[in-house]
Structure 1
Amino acid sequence: MTPNARPAARLAALRAQLTTDNLDGFVIPLTDEHMSEYVGGYAQRLGWLTGFGGSAGTAVVLADRAAIFTDGRYTIQVREQVDGAHWDYADVPQTSPAAWLGQHAPDGGRIGYDAWLHTGTWVAAAAAALADRGATLVAVDANPVDVIWTDRPAPSPAPLTVQPDQFTGASSAEKRAAIADWLADHKADAVVLTALDSIAWALNVRGGDVDHTPVALSYAIVAADGTTDLFVAPDKIDDSVRQHLGNAVRLHDRTAFAAALGGYAGKRVAADPERTVAAITQALQAGGARTLQLRDPVVLAKAIKNPVEIGGHRAASARDGAALARFLRWVEIECIKGGQTELSAAARLLAFREETGVLKGTSFDTISATGPHGAIPHYHVTEESSAPIEPGQLYLIDSGGQYADGTTDVTRVMPIGAPTPEMRDRFTRVLKGHIAIATAVFPDGTMGGQIDAFARRPLWEAGLDFAHGTGHGIGAYLAVHEGPQRIAAPNYPGGAALEPLRAGMMLSNEPGYYKAGEYGIRIENLILIEPRTIPGADREMLGFETLTFCPIERTLIEPSLLTPQERAWVDDYHAKVLAVLTPEMTDEADRAWLAAKCAPLT
């Protein structure tokens, strides 16, 4: 069977299984039972069924039609990877699976869903949309995709590891005590933690169950006294982890979690409506618990980095920036010669990072994209898609590393040969937007959605834009995409960023421009929110400190488009790049190249 035939055969097999299960349709999200963004191989149902390789999407299958839902980041990618002969393409947020079902589900139909893969909020919205057609939403006992996926991978057996206090800045006991105080404030008896990074942060443990994100498949229930029930596969725990967790953390097999939810009769149990799947709240309520829809208390605590976490990130960023700078020099020298591909370049960057001796892994699939592939914001290179890097193209590299002291994420663009005037114009406009965010000063309490337009104005002035948010939060040796903070406007993927920005939060600053079929541009650094003292100010103000250091390609900058203040920012940034990265480099040729790249603009 050819690769293109597999999704069609799988779609037919799913429809046959739905008939067996007396269902008229089924919804397949790209997530797991923890509502994770990145999921283990065992949970890659959407990719297995459709061939889609992106990190966000949903499919709906009916007897006579099927649709796949993606946002603006994947407009091009989904059409390349998913066969339009079998699937309708639906754009989010213009529509949604629930709204589409409300239009296309058969009258009186039974639409199945896996309650371990959807939130209660989604279930209510979908059920309401179906009710208008007299159709019903049905929770399945067995996911029909799993039934037909005969070679589905098993969950990862990777062990838990201890994340030492030298990197966390606070002990697990201190974190659990803070959660207990939060429970007391809300008059709650317990809180269910389902987000894998929340559990890892609260217990100061890490894992290897999800590619790129050092977390373990587990659940935790924290009681009002701070004691915790941790549900995780027993073979993941060794004596060092058991000693680290101590007697206040009771260990249970992960398979015992569902039954344990029935033991809270008469108790007030908090569960995050955005991060808790419907099956959990349904089980709590069936057992007689009163569920409180409150945000996971770890989310904000984890987002506001303490001085130890910030210091760790600075160290990680310096070594990572040096590895990336060495790679960019390699690109400049080698790619113009020919013979290099997107895959070979990604492998070379990984080798530079591995030479640090402390790399734990990459923080996401490296976006190694040349020419037209650069116009796909979340492009994922494969053996089949890998393109040669050729003169006349722009090469975009978006990548990051996981280190015990920090998580990095950085994007740079390199011209292969001489760039065109248009490329320089677009790159400089993206740079101007990047600088506008980097230099922004705003009142404490400002939301990320309020400053998103700063990054877009230079593009808007030329009738241009980019179809993704401007910034996301980032974890401390955890998830590369971490909430609740973001920089995004309402009409872009994810919707408006309504979380107030607070000192200590870290974000990405990554405006871009994408010309379909030709090239893509993105400039990404990580930034830290910090207090700003302004003489005479009558409000507490905040600003950003740039944390990522790596040269921004000078030959792509058109200085005449920059204001004096913007030129000064570029020169000052490059002076800092030189100061931070030079001590990380031992090769004199690398140092000389770096000095040339960091010279003031002329």
Structure 2
Amino acid sequence: MISQTFDVKGGFHFGRDNVPKLRAELEKLGLDGFLVPHEDEYDNEYLPDCNERLLWIAGFSGSAGAAIVMSDRAAIFVDGRYTAQVKHQAAPEIFDYCDLVNQGMYGWIEEYGKPGEKIGYDARLHSPAALDLLQTAAMRAKVELVAVETNPIDLAWTDRPAAPMAQINPQPIEFAGEDHSSKRQRIGIAVERGGADAAVITAPPSIAWLFNIRGGDVSRSPLPLSSAIINKDGTATLFVAPEKITDETRSHLGNQIALRPESEFEAGLSELEGKTVRVDPATASAWVLERLGAGGARVQKLEDPVMRPKAVKNAAEIEGSRQAHIRDGGAIVKFLHWLDTIAQTGEVDEIIAARKLESIRKTLPELRDLSFDTISGAQANGAFAHYRVSEASNLKLVPGSLYLVDSGGQYPDGTTDITRTVPIGQPTAEMRTQFTRVLKGHIALSRVRFPKGTTGTQLDILARLPLWEAGFDYDHGTGHGVGAFLGVHEGPQRIAKSPNAVALEPGMILSNEPGYYKEGGYGIRIENLQVVTEAELIDGGDRPMLGFESLTMAPIHRELIDVPSLTPAELEWLDAYHAEVRQRIAPLVDGEVAAWLYSATEPLAGATP
């Protein structure tokens, strides 16, 4: 278990100590600068300590960002989630603070690059599309981008942590639901039908799912850092550090999966000479495509063939997710009871609350890790949708405010992600009105029935409409995919304004999380995970329909609901949901917590405001 950490204030010494070390290495290489993305060789959301290069150079610990370090200047790029945090962590006398989304490294190069400058980059850390943008910007600025064989940060980082060597374990068939030999045959057929001889798989979640294995190389996701090649006949090669493979795992993988050290991955790519090789440019690095091209392979740029099968959960994975959510729901209910009692004093702060929730989850023997760093936002901090508490930003849960907590756990049978908003003291009428608008959107996306072929983009408006009608909105997606004891953020499906052509299919798990954020005031979000299901034919209808089953099991706070604003259909859904929460969670709690649960799940239909 990797515990939640909070002390991310004051990383100024990183830049002050380490930027000169990098500049010394760049001088040896004849380079004027270097590009430092947050991404590592595996393009994961979470990185092992040895790949936290942006943190090492700048002291910035956010999950998205980049930096450019030149011999005479430097810039760090973050999105709106981290504009306050970066000022606490990246030394202002070294770094200019820049916008990751609207400017990015390519915009900076085009505007501030000086003709004749040579800027180095590590092709293993950039996607082909990102590198194309950078090359175009460099051409316009008359700057030369130079690929390096060895990352100069790795040379300058003399006390760099060792690469993780966590043991890889088989994922039991009772949770996986399908043997990996069957999966490999399915993927091999898809590769062949697509006109390729083999596919290169570089995304660790895809590898974990394909081979029914789980690892521990990064926090928050049970991933084995590795690479793979799968052939059209279903045989495969897994490139992984031998130290990670136990005798049990070796036996589990069998003789149709060749095991080679990860150091031989480049050689494995060159052995594909003359073959048509499928590669996903969205997940594979520019380096992979360059190595394949240089080795004489015909590169076919198509989506990772594992991605969609992985997103459509089978019966065992769905049932595992149900059980994980019930178990997690018991912990959440204990925490919500604590929030409604002990935490109402005004003396509890965001860090205490997050640690309390983790301590409750840790009592569950099945818990393997959190599924992401807990978002624990009190007062105005709740208005930052992806807030991360630190010692510098920590606020108390004071009466008359709202507290937003977004958290999740990793269990062998499922991954959870839940957000609840709780009043501290008496909520204002405005808070109740806005919460109810968010709730109406959440219910609309829970109740909807939709025809096959519908995408998340087409459903997104349902969650926003009650807010739009009053002139409000939120600036994040409404729903992301979730893995089965894998990543809490999983594609290709999602529910958002941005176009997404992936139709929702039975078995896909997505979040449902509309919100409202009043800058300087408070934040509101209600999030459940839900699985796409086959729905009963609507009376009088003639189209097969799909719907959602809620997986998350925890009460939605009654004191924040303006009951008269809900329609009879909305009340019916909410009362039915709370009845199911009570039925499933009551056996897991007792005493005061059980009494609180019964009160929190009483029917609202007919209740007085």
TM-score normalized by structure 2?
0.93
- Residue 541 of structure 1 pairs with residue 545 of structure 2: yes
The amino acid of 1:246's aligned partner reads: G
The residue correspondences of 1:91-130 to structure 2 (distance < 5 A) are 91-130=99-138
- Out of 526, 529, 532, the position equivalent to 1:526 is 529
Give the Cα–Cα distance (whole angstroms) in 2 for the partners of residues 254 and 150 of structure 1.
Answer: 22
The residue correspondences of 1:145-184 to structure 2 (distance < 5 A) are 145-184=153-192
2:282: which partner in 1?
Answer: 274
Q: 1:81 to 1:486 in 2, by over 3 A?
A: farther
CA contact (8 A) 1:549 1:581 kept: yes
Give the Cα–Cα distance (whole angstroms) in 2 for the partners of residues 343 and 598 of structure 1.
Answer: 28
Question: Deviation at 1:305?
Answer: 0.5
1:208: which partner in 2?
Answer: 216
1:493: which partner in 2?
Answer: none
Give the Cα–Cα distance (whole angstroms) in 1 for the partners of residues 475 and 76 of structure 2.
Answer: 18
The amino acid of 2:467's aligned partner reads: L
1:594: which partner in 2?
Answer: 597
Question: Deviation at 1:250?
Answer: 1.0
Question: Deviation at 1:85?
Answer: 5.0
Give the Cα–Cα distance (whole angstroms) in 2 for the partners of residues 518 and 17 of structure 1.
Answer: 47
2:4: which partner in 1?
Answer: none
- Out of 447, 453, 459, the position equivalent to 2:461 is 453
Q: Deviations over 1:135-176 (max 9, x none)?
A: 222111222222333322222121001101110110010001
Question: Deviation at 1:62?
Answer: 3.5
Q: 1:244 to 1:523 in 2, by over 3 A?
A: same
- Out of 238, 242, 251, the position equivalent to 1:234 is 242
- Residue 576 of structure 1 pairs with residue 584 of structure 2: no
Tell me the secondary structure at the aligned position of residue 307 of structure 2: helix
The amino acid of 2:600's aligned partner reads: K
- Residue 555 of structure 1 pairs with residue 563 of structure 2: no
The amino acid of 1:561's aligned partner reads: S
Question: Deviation at 1:249?
Answer: 1.1
The amino acid of 1:423's aligned partner reads: M
Q: 1:197 to 1:550 in 2, by over 3 A?
A: same
Identity %: 48
Q: How many residues align?
A: 596
Give the Cα–Cα distance (whole angstroms) in 2 for the partners of residues 461 and 12 of structure 1.
Answer: 54
- Out of 328, 344, 353, the position equivalent to 2:352 is 344
- Out of 490, 494, 510, the position equivalent to 1:482 is 490
Question: Deviation at 1:124?
Answer: 1.8
CA contact (8 A) 2:11 2:90 kept: no
Q: Deviations over 1:248-273 (max 9, x none)?
A: 11111111112221111111111111
2:76: which partner in 1?
Answer: 68
2:34: which partner in 1?
Answer: 26
Give the Cα–Cα distance (whole angstroms) in 1 for the partners of residues 197 and 488 of structure 2.
Answer: 32
CA contact (8 A) 2:317 2:413 kept: yes
The amino acid of 1:136's aligned partner reads: E
Give the Cα–Cα distance (whole angstroms) in 2 for the partners of residues 44 and 282 of structure 1.
Answer: 24
The residue correspondences of 1:172-571 to structure 2 (distance < 5 A) are 172-490=180-498, 496-532=499-535, 533-571=537-575
Give the Cα–Cα distance (whole angstroms) in 2 for the partners of residues 40 and 185 of structure 1.
Answer: 36
Question: Deviation at 1:454?
Answer: 2.0
Give the Cα–Cα distance (whole angstroms) in 1 for the partners of residues 218 and 236 of structure 2.
Answer: 23
Give the Cα–Cα distance (whole angstroms) in 2 for the partners of residues 384 and 295 of structure 1.
Answer: 42
Give the Cα–Cα distance (whole angstroms) in 2 for the partners of residues 444 and 50 of structure 1.
Answer: 47
1:134: which partner in 2?
Answer: 142
Give the Cα–Cα distance (whole angstroms) in 2 for the partners of residues 41 and 106 of structure 1.
Answer: 34
The amino acid of 2:424's aligned partner reads: I
Give the Cα–Cα distance (whole angstroms) in 1 for the partners of residues 84 and 506 of structure 2.
Answer: 37
Q: 1:210 to 1:437 in 2, by over 3 A?
A: same
Tell me the secondary structure at the aligned position of residue 546 of structure 2: strand
CA contact (8 A) 2:438 2:466 kept: yes
Q: Deviations over 1:397-433 (max 9, x none)?
A: 1111111110000011111111122222221121122
Question: Deviation at 1:580?
Answer: 1.6
CA contact (8 A) 2:530 2:550 kept: yes
Q: 1:295 to 1:2 in 2, by over 3 A?
A: closer
CA contact (8 A) 1:76 1:376 kept: no
The amino acid of 1:478's aligned partner reads: L
Question: Deviation at 1:338?
Answer: 4.2
Give the Cα–Cα distance (whole angstroms) in 1 for the partners of residues 86 and 514 of structure 2.
Answer: 22
Runs (5+) with no aligned partner, structure 2: 1-8
Question: Deviation at 1:505?
Answer: 0.7
CA contact (8 A) 2:11 2:91 kept: no
Tell me the secondary structure at the aligned position of residue 359 of structure 1: coil
Give the Cα–Cα distance (whole angstroms) in 2 for the partners of residues 385 and 247 of structure 1.
Answer: 53
Give the Cα–Cα distance (whole angstroms) in 1 for the partners of residues 95 and 540 of structure 2.
Answer: 60
Q: 1:360 to 1:449 in 2, by over 3 A?
A: same
CA contact (8 A) 1:485 1:500 kept: yes
Give RMSD over aligned pairs. Answer: 2.0
Give the Cα–Cα distance (whole angstroms) in 2 for the partners of residues 297 and 373 of structure 1.
Answer: 40
- Residue 42 of structure 1 pairs with residue 50 of structure 2: yes
Question: Deviation at 1:384?
Answer: 4.4
Tell me the secondary structure at the aligned position of residue 68 of structure 2: strand
CA contact (8 A) 1:394 1:416 kept: yes
Tell me the secondary structure at the aligned position of residue 292 of structure 1: strand
2:5: which partner in 1?
Answer: none
Q: Deviations over 1:421-477 (max 9, x none)?
A: 222222112112211211222232222122222222222233322221111000000
Higher mean C-alpha displacement, 104-113 vs 303-312: 104-113
CA contact (8 A) 1:219 1:232 kept: yes
Q: Deviations over 1:306-357 (max 9, x none)?
A: 1111011001101101110111101111112344332222222122222222
Question: Deviation at 1:63?
Answer: 4.2
Question: Deviation at 1:550?
Answer: 0.2
Q: 1:350 to 1:189 in 2, by over 3 A?
A: same
Give the Cα–Cα distance (whole angstroms) in 2 for the partners of residues 529 and 85 of structure 1.
Answer: 51
Runs (5+) with no aligned partner, structure 1: 491-495
Give the Cα–Cα distance (whole angstroms) in 2 for the partners of residues 82 and 477 of structure 1.
Answer: 34
